[in-house]
Amino acid sequence: MKILKINPNRPEKELIRLAADVIKKGGIVIYPTDTLYGIAANALSKKCVVNVYKIKGRKFTKPLSVAFHSLQQAKRYVKFDKVSTELARKFLPGPLTIILPMKYKFPKELTGGSKSVGVRLPDNKIALEMIRECGFPVTSTSANVSGNGDPITAEDAVNQVGDKVDMILDGGKCRHSKPSTIVDASSGKIKILREGAIKGRTLSELVGI
């Protein structure tokens, strides 16, 4: 397991490529986001997704979200309507997870058998550039043992799951230091499932829910 210090404002291209190469080869990388440190694996690969569940000790009935580098990329894999497009326009990239219907059939292990998937565009240069370099979406789930403390630093992640991954990108403390807010927009309406870095009142004021 390698721990690489990386500049959060100007991520070194060489380190981004190294992390992306690990993921492309089926490996696992811990990476910083705007909320918490996450576990990145190829979200299109059943084998890689299963490995993430094993690392976290998480039940397959609890789906994983997926991180994209841009809204354009996300739209190739999931369906956006007017409501979710407006939500994305106002809050992404940012600390929000939007559950939306799939266009692409992600592994059932990732979605828990659902026809929808959680979409993340983290407001973090390291994360976005790493995903762009991969060329495919990656898993977006906190780098901890399921149910344990939130990993707001690379050290937090190392202490919980560091011995089970291939590489760790240490970009310092996460900006929000709390989970993303999760909203379900799969039915054309917006329902808050978890209030996190974005307060429910803020969502209500801006999108009228």
> Of 68, 38, 206, 54, whose CA–CA distance to 131 is shortest?
68
* Residue closest to 6 by CA, chosen among 32, 45, 29: 32
Question: Rounded mean pLDDT of the chain?
Answer: 95
Q: Which two tokens stand for residue 142?
A: 């906190």
Please state which CATH number belongs to domain 2-207. 3.90.870.10
Say how far apart CA 201 and CA 149 lie, in whole Å.
Answer: 26
Q: Phi, psi (5° rounding) for residue 189?
A: -120, 165
What is the spatial distance between Cα 147 and Cα 120, in angstroms, rounded to a whole number?
20
Q: Of all residues in the chain, what percent carry a pLDDT higher than 70? A: 98
> How many Cα atoms sit within 13 Å of 2 on the Cβ side?
12
Given a cut of 60, whether residue 152 has pLDDT beyond it is yes
- pLDDT bin (cut points 50, 70, 90) of residue 208 is low
Confidence of residue 188 (pLDDT cuts 50, 70, 90): confident
- Above 70 in pLDDT, residue 209? no
Delimit the domains of the chain by residue range: 2-207
Q: What is the pLDDT of residues 86-95, one digit of tens each?
A: 899 999 999 9
Q: Answer whether residue 207 shows pLDDT above 80.
A: no
What are the E-state strand segments in 68-151?
96-101, 116-120, 138-140
93-101 mean pLDDT: 97
Band the pLDDT of 185: cuts 50, 70, 90: very high
Give the H or E element holding residue 170.
strand 167-170
Whether 132 shows a pLDDT value over 70: the answer reads yes
Neighbours of 207 (CB within 10 A): 16
In the predicted model, what is the mean pLDDT of residues 30-55? 98
Distance of alpha carbon 95 from alpha carbon 137, whole angstroms? 17
Q: What is the pLDDT of residue 158?
A: 97
Judge whether 120 and 180 are in contact, CB under 8 Å. Answer: yes
